[in-house]
Amino acid sequence: MEGVDTRSTAIRKILDMRLIGFEHVLTIGRYNYTSVQEGLEAHIHPGMIEICYLERGTQVYQVEGTEYLLKGGDVLVTQPDRRHGTSGYPEEKGQLYWMLLKIPGEGKGLLNLADMESDYLIHQLKSFHTPHFRGMRTMVNDLKGIFKAYNNTADPVHRKIEITNLVLSFLLKVIKAGENEQQDCVSYLMKGICDHIHENIYEELVLDELASRANLSLSRFKHRFKEELGIPPGEYIMRLKIEKAKELLKKGLKTRDVAYTLGFETSNYFATVFRKFVGQTPTYYSEH
């Protein structure tokens, strides 16, 4: 199950935002289950960010092999191309909202914002150290407002302006909540390791050396890093390298030069990793 689901039922309503003129806010959904439903099949959303807000109830989700237990008021942000579902668990009783955002292409702003503001929002939404954190109760007011405004067909221009403002308000609250969670949950030790990774991303980063820097055994370091950051250290490093690679490719560097600059053994291996995380070859990405 990949792509965009727009199927609505009596207990599961999905708003197709493209029908009312939105380009990058694809769908906003809500389910209100009074009984347990079948589990959500593992799937990916190529080039899209999915934000879930659980208003009430509990739910287990799995993102790339890691399980997260959501409780009422929690947020889960799934990054592009990451496989996620309920990991064999059923969908529990409760009420959950979700929003699916397509990453804008070059020169296209999210919610018609200027490039700088759009890039800021996307960067912040992609920079959470953990995908699961406590949300703000006022988020649900924005989401309910979107559903209410969507049905206003009398004045479509007013409707789009109102929904744009509500979506922007919701995204800013998600970013704020995620920032607060990072401050609370990422220790000084792991923050230091992350800073070291960022400062040396063009070098070869060996996990044994990072564990030694943290004064931890390798197994303990891997466990603690994933516990605090939400993903394994090797994946954290690789994702950061790919983000740097995207910047270099857009500046006109050749694939082989980018691979060499970022410490990949061969350009073929770099291309394989790049395609895994981005969904495109480096050549295709640099030309579009």
Side-chain half-sphere of 40: how many Cα atoms within 13 Å? 17
Q: Could you tell me the sign of the dihedral formed by the alpha carbons of 187, 192, 197, 199, in that order?
A: positive
Mean pLDDT of 221-239: 84
Say what the pTM is.
Answer: 0.64
As a three-state string, the secondary structure of 168-231 is: HHHHHHHHHHHHHHHHHHCCHHHHHHHHHHHHCCCCCCCHHHHHHHCCCCHHHHHHHHHHHHCC
Q: So what's the pLDDT on residue 232?
A: 85
Q: Are 55 and 114 in contact (CB under 8 A)?
A: no
Alpha-helical segments (H) within the chain: 115-125, 139-150, 156-185, 188-199, 207-213, 218-229, 233-250, 255-261, 267-278, 282-287
List 253's β-bridge partners, or say none.
Answer: none
State the pLDDT at residue 1.
40
pLDDT digits (tens, 9 = 90+) for 261-283: 999 989 999 999 888 877 788 99
Ramachandran quadrant class, 111 (left: phi over 0; alpha: psi -120 to 50; beta: rest): left
What token pair was written down for 35?
């009984």
SS3 35: coil
User: What are the C-alpha distances in Å from 240 to residues 102, 129, 153, 169?
Assistant: 20, 12, 44, 28
User: How does pLDDT run across 96-136, given as a tens digit for each residue?
Assistant: 999 999 999 877 889 989 988 999 999 999 988 889 998 99
The model's confidence at residue 219, banded by pLDDT at 50, 70 and 90, is: very high
Please tell me the predicted confidence (pLDDT) of residue 186: 67
Domain positions in the chain: 12-185, 188-287
Distances from the Cα of 12 to the Cα of 8, 94, 149, 151, angstroms: 5, 12, 18, 16
Q: How far is CA 179 from the centre of its chain?
A: 14
Rounded-to-integer distance, Cα 281 and Cα 288, Å: 11
How many CA atoms lie within 13 Å of 122's alpha carbon, on the beta-carbon side? 25
Please give the CATH superfamily to which domain 188-287 belongs.
Answer: Homeodomain-like (1.10.10.60)
Pick the CATH number of 12-185 from 3.10.105.10, 2.60.120.280, 3.30.720.110, 2.60.40.10: 2.60.120.280
CB atoms within 10 A of CB 163: 26
pLDDT at residue 49, rounded to an integer: 96
Does residue 236 or residue 186 have the better pLDDT?
236
